Amino acid sequence: MNYKFLPMFFVLLLMSFTNLPSNENSKKNSIVVEAKSVSKNVSIYNQLDANSFALPSFESFTLALDGFYILKEKGLIKKNILTLVDFSLSSNTKRMWVIDLEKNTVLFQTLVAHGRNTGEEFAKEFSNRAESYQSSIGFYATAEIYNGKHGMSLKLDGLERGLNDKARERAVVIHGADYVSESFIKQNKRLGRSQGCPAVPVELNAKIIEVIKDKSCLFIYHPSAKQEILAKLIS
């Protein structure tokens, strides 16, 4: 679908509600707000500078953007940096994007691992439990850097109760791993898996962490829970 024509559609949609009866005002206002939000997201998506990378799907991006604005308004994130991980995609593809929303530019697109009990090539099962060795979906705020067994690593605070709020106590962090590489895929026919961390290639680890550290937004997406993700964030 070509999203470049959607903004005009939503303009027409907004105009169509101007003559509704007064008892429909509440419904009208809700639809108008939603239409404005979608139209804004479409505009941002269409103006993204891919910077030689592929763009994420519109569905994952618009959900990430909705959450980003909610978190920014609540003061839970500070930077205009959005990191999007799309776990609907094969682990053999570059399914992590780091996006500068101030400059509307994709800074990185890279491989990223999911937990060993989340699935083989594709992520299927998610958990917030300790020792589950599964990934947790939803919105996070990036936190402080530390040096651990994987070297330079970045702590994460899960922002959604029941989905990922145990991330810090589970030590779910961003770190580099040698099993996150094209060579590992060639040898094993799939990317390596973590204990639940969104691990990235060793050669990009420090660069990514320096950009996204200290209260930027990380969103791990999977279509199976997209409604639950946003509902928990709003509640």
Split at pLDDT 50, 70, 90, the class of 5 is very low
Per-residue model confidence (pLDDT) at position 232:
86
Three-class SS state of 48: coil
Split at pLDDT 50, 70, 90, the class of 38 is confident
Residue 155 in tokens: 């702590």
* Contact status, residue 88 vs residue 120, Cβ threshold 8 Å: no
- Residue 3 pLDDT greater than 70, yes or no: no
Per-residue model confidence (pLDDT) at position 226:
85
Residues 6+ apart with CB under 8 A from 66: 37, 41, 230
| Count of domains forming the chain | 2
Mean pLDDT of 5-29: 47
How many Cβ atoms sit within 10 Å of the Cβ of residue 121? 17
C-alpha 207: how far from its chain's center? Answer: 18
- Residue 6 pLDDT greater than 80, yes or no: no
Q: Which of residues 32, 47, 62 is at a domain's end?
A: 47
Same domain, yes or no, for 16 and 84? no
C-alpha 112: how far from its chain's center? Answer: 12
- Residue 32 pLDDT greater than 70, yes or no: no
What is the domain extent for residue 196?
51-234
Same domain, yes or no, for 38 and 135? no
Least confident of 10-24, 30-44, 100-114: 10-24
Same domain, yes or no, for 168 and 116? yes
Helix (H) or strand (E) holding 151, with range, is strand 151-158
Residue 178 in tokens: 């040698």
Same domain, yes or no, for 6 and 107? no
- Residue 61 pLDDT greater than 50, yes or no: yes
- Residue 70 pLDDT greater than 80, yes or no: yes
- Residue 116 pLDDT greater than 70, yes or no: yes
* Cα distance between the two ends of the chain: 32
* Contact status, residue 7 vs residue 42, Cβ threshold 8 Å: yes
Helix (H) or strand (E) holding 220, with range, is strand 217-221
Residue 47 in tokens: 């103006």
Residue-wise pLDDT for 165-186, tens only, equals 999 999 999 999 999 999 999 9
Per-residue model confidence (pLDDT) at position 101:
97
As a whole-number percent, the residues of the chain with pLDDT over 90 amount to: 78
Q: Is 189 left (phi over 0), alpha (psi -120 to 50) or beta?
A: left
- Residue 64 pLDDT greater than 70, yes or no: yes
Split at pLDDT 50, 70, 90, the class of 24 is low
Same domain, yes or no, for 126 and 199? yes
Average pLDDT, rounded, for the chain: 88
Same domain, yes or no, for 118 and 142? yes
Same domain, yes or no, for 172 and 226? yes
Beta strand pairing status for 173-177 and 151-158? antiparallel
Per-residue model confidence (pLDDT) at position 227:
85
CATH number of the domain encompassing residue 71? 2.40.440.10
Per-residue model confidence (pLDDT) at position 13:
42
Residues 6+ apart with CB under 8 A from 162: 128, 232
Per-residue model confidence (pLDDT) at position 95:
98
For 35-65, give one letter per residue: b (16+ CB within 10 A) or e: beebbbbbeebbebeeeebeebbeebbbbbb
Residue-wise pLDDT for 193-217, tens only, equals 999 999 999 999 999 999 999 999 9
Split at pLDDT 50, 70, 90, the class of 82 is very high
Task: Please return the burial class of 145, using the count of CB atoms within 10 Å of its CB with bins 0-12, 13-18 and 19+.
Answer: middle
Q: How far apart are CA 68 and CA 108, in angstroms?
A: 18
